[in-house]
Structure 1
Amino acid sequence: MPPAQPQPLPAPGPAGVQLVIELRGGEGLDDAARIEQAFRDCVAACGARLLHLHTHRFSPQGVTGVAVLAESHITVHTWPEHGYAAFDIFMCGAADPWRAVPVLRRAFATEDVAVTELRRGPA
């Protein structure tokens, strides 16, 4: 019997998936507590692990925030005067950032959500 031939290693997958999420017409875009809860709900839905969460409310309006995850991050910056929020969700490993999209839709009561996906890392 001839010796077994070495099998090629599978091609590496992406290091992670990044979603750029634009939310328009939502409610509560000036509410830091609502945004923090939405971040926590996204982390749970995606199967990620929260390490740190920080938000800052600007005067007269707007919120910026970051959730640092074991799997990467979630960030947001809102312009409530324009009914607009820009989220960035980057996750690696088994965490699935796509599960955050319906969470954000519900959290801010809008169906006007645009998502752009980026596959990060070696392909």
Structure 2
Amino acid sequence: MTRATMLGQHILLDLSGVDTTLSCNTTLIERLLRDAADAAGATPIHAHFHPFGEGQGVTGVLLLKESHISIHTWPEHGYAAVDIFMCGTAQAMLAARCITDGLRAAHVCQRNLGRSAEKVQHPA
């Protein structure tokens, strides 16, 4: 059996009880994701964020040299879904902590996945 080549770390965050004022502010969400990338030692290369209107959510992605961070917020539910995928020396866990703290999440469900070049067996 060969050892898998780890290519990156993928973190999925389900955040509830998030600060509603923050989660509907496109400028603050972008700043938060840029701060998270910086904390992780990642390099932003492009960003796109879209507000859904006054008091509504934001969706956005920060493309990184090391992969990406994306977010979608539902202020009316106090919820945010975050996807962090980083490779190289970037530390995805530090980005996750920065975002969780920045949104003042009361509850966090975090799933960590190692991404590898190992052959994947798919169910029939």
Q: Give the TM-score band, short-chain normalised.
A: 0.7 to 0.9
Q: Aligned residue for 2:103? A: 108
* Matched ranges for 1:78-89 at <5 A: 78-89=73-84
Q: Aligned residue for 2:15? A: 23
Cα RMSD of the aligned pairs, angstroms, is 1.5
- TM-score by length of structure 1 reads 0.86
- TM-score by length of structure 2 reads 0.85
Q: For 1:56-113, what per-residue CA distance to the aligned partner results, in whole angstroms no more than 9, with x for missing partners?
A: 0013511000000000000011111000000000000110100012211221122411
Uncovered stretches (5+) of structure 2, i.e. residues with no partner: 119-124
Q: Aligned residue for 1:67? A: 62
Output the amino acid matched with 1:23: L
Q: Higher Cα Rg: structure 1 or 2?
A: 1
Identity of aligned residues (%): 40
Output the amino acid matched with 1:65: G
Corresponding residue SS for 2:105: coil
Output the amino acid matched with 2:114: R
Aligned residues: 114
Corresponding residue SS for 2:42: coil
